[in-house]
Structure formats: C-alpha cells, structure tokens
Amino acid sequence: MPTTTTHQRPPRTARLLRRTLRGLPPRRYRVGHHPALPVPAADGARLLTDHYLPLGDGEFPTVLLRSPYGRGFPWAPLYGLALAEQGFHVLIQSCRGTGGSGGEAALWRHERADGLATVEWLREQPWFDGRLGTIGPSYLGYTQWALAADPPPELRAMVVQNGIHDPHAFFHSGGVLNLENALVAAVGLANFDRGPGTLLRASARLQRNLRRATRGLPLRDAYPAATGGRLAALDGALDHPDPADPYWAGSDLGPVAERHAIPTALVTGWSDVCLGQTLRQWERLRAAGCAGSLLIGPWTHTSTLGPGLPEVFRESLAWLRAHLCDDPSGLRAQPVRVSLDGGWRELADWPGGGTGLRWYLADGRLVTERPTPAGPVTVRIDPADPAPPAGGPLLSQQAGPRRNNRREARPDVLTFSTGPLTEPVELLGPVAVDLLVTAGHTDLFTRLCDVDPRGRSVNVCDGVLRLAPTGGRPAAVTVELDHTAHRFAAGHRLRLQLGGAPHPRYARNPGTGEPDATATTLSATELTVHQPSSVRALGSGRTS
C-alpha cells in the first residue's frame, strides 16, 4: 500500500509544544507529516498511524512507536518532530481500539501480531530503506518487547524508556495491589487518547475523590466514584491478583530478553514505578550477551521525559544513530550511567560492585555487630487507620524523595537507626531486609531512609510483602527493596522503617483473609519482629 507522495505541515499544537522543549540538539531537517494512515493489521483492523518525515535528500532510517495513549500530546513533539528533525522517519501508531484505530482494545493481547503487521506494511513503502528502530516509555516499552518476541530482520535497535514487560508486576508488588498507581494508570489508559483536556478533567476527578474511592468497602464497588465508571484495566488487576491466573497468560514478556540480540538501550529513574522491571530486563540482556546500555537518573516515571528530557533524548538519539546509522560517536565509554549524590557515575555493569554490608536490628538501633538477642517488638496494624505514604515510586506529583518524619512518628511504624556515620557510605545495588516475624493477615512495608544531622528523614528505597499468618510462630521472611545508588554522608544516619503498607499507595489488607477487592470488614492485626533480623546491601564505606 503506497503512501501519498505529498505531505502536510505537522499539527500546529505539536509545533508549538516542540518549541517549549529545551536542551535538545539543533534541528537538521524541516519536517513533513502524513496523518492517520490506515495500516492494516493481520485481521483487517485499521491501525491509524502518523508519519513524520525529514524533508531532505537521501535515505533515512525509521523509528516506530506503538501507543494506546493517542498520537498527539506528548508523542508528536517529543518523538515525531524531535526525531524527524534529526533525520528519521517516525511512525506513531495507535494500538487497536484506541486513538481511532479499529478493533477492540485489549491490553497486551494483540501487540505482537499488530507490530509484525505494521512491519509488513512498512516493507511496501517506497521510503522505507530496511533500517528500523523502536522507542518509547511505559506501555510503549511493552509494545517494543512484543515486537522483539519474534523480531523482524529489519529491527536493529530498541530504546525502552521506563518500560514494562510484565503487566501483573506493574499492578502488584510483593503480593499487594499498587492501588494508587493502578488507578492513575487505568484512568490514563481510558482517557489519554481523548485529548489533554479530557485527561486533565479525569485526573482532577480522581484526585478529588481518591480518599472516598480507596476507603470505601468493598473496594471494587467504591473506586468508580473517582473514575466515573468501571475501568477494564483496574477490574482485571483487582479480580486477578494471582500471577498464575489464566487472565495473565502470555502477558509477561520478560523471557524475551533472555534470548534477545537486538541492541537495546534502557532508561529509568530511581523513583520510577518501572525501575524494578527495567533492572530485570538489564540482567537478562547481560546474561544473553546482548549489546545494551542502562541510564538511571534522579527521576520519577513522568519526570524522565520532563526535567530529564535533555539527558534522555541525547542518549536515546546516540543509540539510534549508532545502530541505525553506523555512527557510534555519541556512545559513552561505559554501558551503565547512574545518578549519584547530585552527579553521575559510569560503570561497567549494574549492580555497581562493592562489598556486602549488613546492619542488625537491635532495640531501635541498626548495628554492624550481631547483637545479643533482645526481646521482640510488636506493633498493631489497623487497616481502618492506615499509615499514609511519603514519596517513593508513584505516578502522582508526590513521587520521589520526601520527608518521612511524620510517618515515622506513628505508633504503627517501627524505626531502627545507625549512629552518625564517621565517614560516607555508598550503596550501589539491591537492598533487602531479612526478618523473623510473627503475623496475621497483613502486609509488611520496609523502607530505608537517610537522616541528616538536623533529624530530617528522607526515603531512599522501599519494598512490600504480603505476609501469610504464621500461626503464632516466628517465620523467616525476606523483603526485597528497590535497587539504589545513594551516598549517605558523614554525620548522617541510616534508618529502617517497618510497618503496615502505606495507603492509598497500596490497597488495604483487610486483616481478615478476604480478597482486597471484595472485602466488607476490616480487622486490626499485630506484627511482631524477633531477633535475629537484619538489613543487607551492596556498597562501600565504614558502616559504624
């Protein structure tokens, strides 16, 4: 199917928004636009696709984005214009059932076949020269992994920014529903392709009604008060918490990276909701011997393409040029670059090396020598009065590092702190907490914080785990926290928080054993922490 030989100017809104993007390289080409091209899927559904093209002589490689969030803001200025200006054909395609594309929207179920059908269409275009790359954040990362599951020979490079490969793991952490993030994501999926105005109104309605929607019982009947109706993505996550449920069959594309050979650049942030998935992708790529790069900045899921855009665009463009244009001049010497202490550290791999560090829990303290066993400590966790969140990997404006002192002052949050450090301590990798606990039906939230000499406590990384009742007997559990690259300065202290899962970041565990989605009663439970328990990490420096 040939495309039209004439072109239009890009949409005025996209051109105006492109002018607001600072820190990008100078324009090399003027840009033309072919809007809403009907690309046929294998079953005949028409997938609407916008084509941005550099206006100049010669052949140019192609970059593909497949999105359920429409083809306008922010993709048109961020990718359509910005990449076409640098000498790439750019295709922004609406996934089936979204943005005017035909077929029925069904998350993750058609991305592989629809991506391959798009490449089939590309092969018929006179301007396509056989060089193809992919790029994009969040679910646009998922559509890239779907295409890579059976990669066409033209696919030569991928740039996965804050991307997911496992939908279940996006909605659930440690057996607990990521409630607030699930609500924000589901509202975005339902409204993003309807235009910025509709999305803003839907987001405002969610925030106005968030408390009522997340505290009502049962949760499945309460949440539509904040969303204006039922949302298929959220209902799926609520109704199918078990990753082995047939609902999720075939959705996890993580194994694709285990046999991957397409040069792939990964981008994420220390407060990104997709940090864990990105690092699992990196681990699998390295094991497969695949060429790759990893960039982790001081960003959240949304700020990666906001304040982080100049850095992210520069690295993404260098990767595409290296593998689509045979121009490696922009690549860095080391494959890993992470933000640390206000600057950047380049590394040969991630985790970043160092030795194993361990601190033991002892009467409110963190100590480096294994202490004499002390008596257990118990807190009461009441789902009717849950501890609030304080920063972390959220999709809201409250994401990132935040002061935690008010949270730590609650009686249902235990804290354990080192003394002031005599010299800096750097952590470069995973953090885990090994605990001996007695518990009923509850969720255990663990968080590592940095406490400055004035006593200000700021979150560094955290993790959550749903606990099964231990029958009154102590049980050993391990809570995996997010990876981090963090420097605790001399005079600062490390602090560990233990307590119930913050709400509404996580769905409340009703304490009764009932499913979160349909529970109608709440019951307080007790959590007891015994010795020996400890925190372990990779890093360097004197820890006492």
Q: Write down the CATH superfamily of domain 355-540.
A: Galactose-binding domain-like (2.60.120.260)
pLDDT attached to residue 347: 97
Alpha helix (H) ranges present in 337-453? Answer: 405-408
> Which parts of the chain sit beneath pLDDT 70?
1-5, 542-544
Evaluated on CA atoms 106, 108, 109, 113, the torsion sign reads positive
pLDDT attached to residue 372: 84
Retrieve residue 350's tokens: 């991630």
Q: In what order do the strands lie in the sheet with 155-163?
A: 30-40, 46-55, 89-94, 62-67, 132-138, 155-163, 264-271, 292-300, 336-340, 343-347
pLDDT attached to residue 4: 43
pLDDT attached to residue 373: 78
Separation in Å, CA 211 to CA 237, 328, 384, 505: 19, 51, 12, 11
Q: Which runs of E-coded beta strand occur in 301-418?
A: 336-340, 343-347, 355-362, 365-367, 377-381, 413-417
Retrieve residue 432's tokens: 């885990």
Helix axes 196-208, 179-191, angle to 10 degrees: 150
Side-chain-side CA neighbours of 394 within 13 Å: the count stands at 20
The CB density around residue 128, as the number of other CB atoms within 10 Å, is 20
First-to-last C-alpha distance (Å) of the chain:
69
Helix (H) or strand (E) holding 376: none
Where in the chain do CATH 2.60.120.260 domains reside? 355-540
- What does residue 14 show for φ and ψ, rounded to 5 degrees? -65, -40
Domain spanning 12-169+248-347: CATH 1.10.10.10: no
Q: Are 130 and 59 in contact (CB under 8 A)?
A: no
pLDDT attached to residue 2: 35
pLDDT attached to residue 505: 98
pLDDT attached to residue 543: 56
Q: Which runs of E-coded beta strand occur in 305-440?
A: 336-340, 343-347, 355-362, 365-367, 377-381, 413-417, 425-439
User: If 0-12 CB within 10 Å is exposed, 13-18 middle and 19+ buried, where does residue 124 land?
Assistant: exposed
Where in the chain do CATH 3.40.50.1820 domains reside? 12-169+248-347
pTM exceeds cut of 0.75: yes
pLDDT attached to residue 5: 60
Alpha helix (H) ranges present in 164-308? Answer: 167-171, 179-191, 196-208, 210-215, 219-222, 224-227, 232-239, 275-287
pLDDT attached to residue 140: 98
Retrieve residue 351's tokens: 């985790």
pLDDT attached to residue 202: 93
Retrieve residue 497's tokens: 């928080």
